[in-house]
Amino acid sequence: MLLPIVTSFHYSSGDPYAARISFHPDPDNTPGITWYVERDLLSVGTRARSGTGDVQAWPAHGPDGAYHTLLQLGPPAGRALFRVDTPGLLAWLTLTHSVVAPGSEASHVDWQPFERLLTEYGAQ
């Protein structure tokens, strides 16, 4: 059974590897549920099976012949499967690629907090 769910996709250069996906089953009464998914996993999932464990994506054709990307979230005992319109997802991914080009994510990460931690713990 398919149930429509209001979903919003977010991307920030401050967290360049991740896409934030918020699911709003009842947008009038709840804040929704948010998952952070690797952007590359979504991109690969539009054309081939991608991911392992709790987050996986793969291409599929809908009953109407339209292209969809299936996004599976959660552990085996409580998985949810979402059908995402592939052309819409690809358009959104293209926008994220204009913010941070694929392969350049590391140059957008602020490494200073990690360097401070390493310095603090390395000095002890």
Residue 67's domain is classified under what CATH number? 2.30.31.20
* 1 found inside a domain: no
Question: For 87-119, how does the pLDDT look when each residue is reduced to its tens digit (9 = 90+)?
Answer: 999 999 999 999 999 999 999 988 888 888 888
Kindly state the average pLDDT of the residues 68-86. Answer: 94
Amino acid 10: pLDDT? 96
* 14 found inside a domain: yes
**Pick from 72, 88, 70: which is nearest to 80 by CA?**
72
Domain extent for 106? 6-122
* 100 found inside a domain: yes
- Please say if the pLDDT value at position 123 is more than 80: no
Contact (Cβ atoms closer than 8 angstroms) between residue 34 and residue 15: no
Amino acid 62: pLDDT? 79
Contact (Cβ atoms closer than 8 angstroms) between residue 120 and residue 31: no
Overall number of domains in the chain: 1
Kindly state the average pLDDT of the residues 10-19. Answer: 96
Amino acid 29: pLDDT? 74
* 70 found inside a domain: yes
Sheet containing 55-61: order of strands: 55-61, 67-73, 80-85
Question: For 30-75, how does the pLDDT look when each residue is reduced to its tens digit (9 = 90+)?
Answer: 778 999 999 999 999 999 999 999 999 999 997 788 899 999 999 9
* 10 found inside a domain: yes
Q: Is the dihedral of CA 100, 104, 105, 108 positive or negative?
A: negative
> Distance between CA 106 and CA 115 in Å, rounded?
14
Residue of 28 and 95 predicted with greater confidence: 95
